[in-house]
Structure 1
């Protein structure tokens, strides 16, 4: 998997883990339990490990992908549910810094499924 970077690498692991009912799909960041998708609601703020809000939830796309509301440039971004480490306080907290989020998030929900299907 060394040839994969950023979002594609995380999605591949998370999709493979889902196929095997593995709850350790956060392989790259050491988390061992996934948040139940039912805990994530539309309009919830999404924050980094440093408590910086970078987006709001638009809605869930299937059981494993969160679509974020459009940013200032009018673009939707997508993040895997496997990044979520908490929904306490009505906020979705991810296991990333702001710079990591911006490097790793996807521009469409199909990116993860396409990457997993090819490899």
Structure 2
């Protein structure tokens, strides 16, 4: 099985990160996670980051840096974790993809259920060093 490529958006405001509860049309609906999405054919990671954030929560972002790489628990996707600068604007959730959005601290995120093991590793081990 060929591994597909996806991005994960690490969007921060001070000590908080934007996370979503995956909506009814999303894979693994109900999970809490940072915004993420598949790369389209011919799209760069940075382009996918900008597109996915805008589609899912209506924010405009400028990619800053790739900060980590992991894979999904089922091995189907290689995840490229990117930080981005957020332009001023209000959250406008895509109701199929996102049922809720929150700005959370690391401790608040780690207390939520369900979350992905790879996301837990990022919040515990990688994010504090960024």
Which of the pair has the greater relative contact order for Cα pairs under 8 Å at 6+ separation?
2
Q: Give the TM-score normalised by structure 1.
A: 0.30
Q: Give the TM-score normalised by structure 2.
A: 0.28
